Structures are given as structure tokens and as C-alpha cells.
Amino acid sequence: MSSALHEQPYLESWRWMSRQIRCAMDPDEPRLIEHYLAEGRYLACCTATSPWTIAETSFRLLLDTATDIALPWHWRSLCLDQAWRPLREMERLSLCNCRLQRWQRYTWQLATCELLPSIPLIELVQGFTDDQDSY
């Protein structure tokens, strides 16, 4: 079996989990983040997928999710709390100056990340209703 064929199901699973995390499809299931990170570790060590790409993509996903005010606060907080894990992996993989500079920039982003309050669900629903009335 070729490497790409072996890799594809895991890559698709990892991508699906990333969409679940980013959209907070199951915000009361914190184990999803651990499962996502574990699947990324598997891809990085057992397939041709770049470990740096996996770590960077995971970090960006968690930080972007954490700063999305349309998502539930507790989910955003959990994502922020876990963002250090792929960042630590990126530090280990920073073997050249360009990667080291990117890692430093990401470290600064995480260190200075300030979570704004989430938009209350009622405002999201009201905003949708108001938009519908204008058509």
C-alpha cells in the first residue's frame, strides 16, 4: 500500500475533527481536542505529512477558535488552554531561523491573546432574524 493511500483516511479524520473544533460542533466534548492532537501526532510520525505543518495548523486552529467571539466561551477557553501543546512541538522543530522566527511570533500571539466575551446566543439569533426581515 502506498504511503498516500495509508495516510488519506487519517488525514481526512484529522481534517473532520478540525472542522468540529473550529465550528464548536460539540462544545461539551473536550476530549475532541485531545483526539485531534493525537491524530496529528500520528500523522506527523507515521505518514509523509510534515510534522511542522501539523503543529502549525493545530496551533492556528486552536488560537483562531479561541478568538472567535461567536463560539461558546467555555469552548474558546479550552482551545486557548490547549494551544501551547502544538506550539511546544513547533519549538522542538524550529531547526532553522525562519521557523524559529515563526515560532517566536506564534509564542507572542499566544502570550498576548486576550479573549473578548462571546456574543450571547440571543444576540446571534436576533441578528439572524433581523437580517431575514430585510429581504
Give residue-wise pLDDT tens across range 4-32: 556 788 899 999 999 999 999 999 999 99
3-state SS class at 78: helix
3-state SS class at 69: coil
Structural domain contains residue 92: yes
Structural domain contains residue 17: yes
Between CA 55 and CA 58 the distance in angstroms is 5
Structural domain contains residue 133: no
Structural domain contains residue 32: yes
> From the CB of residue 62, how many other CB atoms can be counted at a distance below 10 Å?
28
Q: Tell me: the pLDDT tens digits for 70-107?
A: 999 999 999 999 999 999 999 999 999 999 999 999 99
Decide: residue 65, CB within 10 A, 0-12 exposed, 13-18 middle, 19+ buried: buried
Residue 48, amino acid: A
Structural domain contains residue 76: yes
CA 88 to chain centre: 14
Structural domain contains residue 56: yes
Query: pTM of the prediction?
Result: 0.85
Parent domain of 95: 6-112
Number of domains in the chain: 1
Structural domain contains residue 117: no
Structural domain contains residue 89: yes
